Amino acid sequence: MFWNKLKKNKAFAKIELTDLGLQVSYYDEITKVFWDEIIILKAFKIDNLVVDDICLEIQTDNKVVVVSEEFEGWSELLIKILDKFPMISKDWESNIAFPPFERKEMELYNASRE
C-alpha cells in the first residue's frame, strides 16, 4: 500500500518548489505541476491507527497528485500554497487534524468557484 511504502523510506518522497510550480518525486516517478494549472486542492486525513496522516490532493485538467505530510518539503509546500492561493484559510491544517483518528476531507480551492 502507498502509505506503508512511504513510511518505510521518506527519502523517496519529496516535494520541490519553484516559482512556476512544484515537482513531486515518489520513488522513481516524477510529476510536475504548474501553479496556474491547478484547478482543485483538497485536504484530507487518513487514520493510520496509531497516527493520522494529513494529505493534499492536487488536481489539474489531466493529472492528480497526492502528497502527504510525510513527504520531504511538506512545510515549504504549505507556505507556498498559502502565498499562491491566498483565499485558502490559514488554519485549514488544524481544522483537518481535529478530532484525531477520524477521516476528514475539505476542499481548499476550486478554480471554478473563484
pLDDT at residue 9 tops 60: no
CA proximity to 59, closest of 10, 1, 107: 107
What integer pLDDT is reported at residue 72 of this predicted model?
A: 96
Distance in angstroms (rounded) separating the CA atoms of residues 31 and 44:
20
> Cell 502527504, residue?
68
pTM, full prediction: 0.85
Q: pLDDT tens-digit profile of 64-90? A: 999 999 999 999 999 999 999 999 999
In the chain, what is the greatest distance between 2 CA atoms, to the nearest angstrom? 39
Helix (H) or strand (E) holding 26, with range, is strand 21-26
What integer pLDDT is reported at residue 22 of this predicted model?
A: 98
Q: pLDDT tens-digit profile of 20-49? A: 999 999 988 999 999 999 999 999 998 877
DSSP annotation of 1: -
With a pLDDT cut of 70, the percent of the chain lying above it is: 90
CA atoms within 13 A on the CB side of 28: 0
